[in-house]
Amino acid sequence: MSATATVRQHENPSAAIKPQLRVLLVEDNPGDRDLILQELGKGEFDVISDVVQTAEEFRQRMKTNIPDVVLADYNLGQWRGMEALEILRADPATAHTPVIAISANAMALDIERGMGAGFFRYITKPIKVDEFMDAIEAALEYAQRESAQIT
């Protein structure tokens, strides 16, 4: 089952327009999903987010709406965030999309494996908000640079 959530922050309508950030969140835990979406809504972006829980939902979403950044839980029930990374890297249209792993596995070896596999960043739970937002901003900058080089 797929859930779509849109998080938009409009505190001051006269303020400058915020850059838009399309995020695909791969997370099967509702509490973690809500926390991540809440933190994204506090950032400096107009966030449009989509949530998937299965590899098939992920594949379908990648055919229709390529996000700027993918946030993938490293350990999902039926599949792993690593599969999301592999799916993206196999398609030239999405090969440059930054994928941030989010995991409760916080051992140095776990982080090394994740980064070695090609994740853009590896964020551990409980999520440190500053680290999380820095990773999102860096991933967006990276995605914009890569996108500009392709076009």
Q: What residue spans define the domains of the chain? A: 21-150
Lowest mean pLDDT among 3-7, 45-49, 71-75, 138-142: 3-7
Looking at the predicted structure, is the pLDDT value of residue 54 above 90?
no
Residue 26, CA atoms < 13 Å, CB-side half-sphere:
34
Report how far residue 113's alpha carbon sits from residue 131's, in angstroms, rounded to the nearest whole number. Answer: 19
The rounded distance, in Å, linking the Cα atoms of 112 and 110 is 5
- Measured distance CA(111)–CA(94) in Å, rounded: 23
**Inter-residue contact 124 to 106 (CB < 8 Å):** yes
Helix (H, G, I), strand (E, B) or coil at 35: helix
**Homologous superfamily of 21-150:** Response regulator (3.40.50.2300)
Task: State whether the Cα torsion 128-114-116-146 is positive or negative.
Answer: negative
C-alpha 132/C-alpha 83 separation (Å) is 21
How far apart (Å, rounded) are the C-alpha atoms in residues 130 and 104?
Answer: 17
pLDDT, tens only, 76-114: 766 777 888 888 889 888 888 999 999 988 999 999 999
Q: Does the pLDDT at position 11 exceed 70? A: no
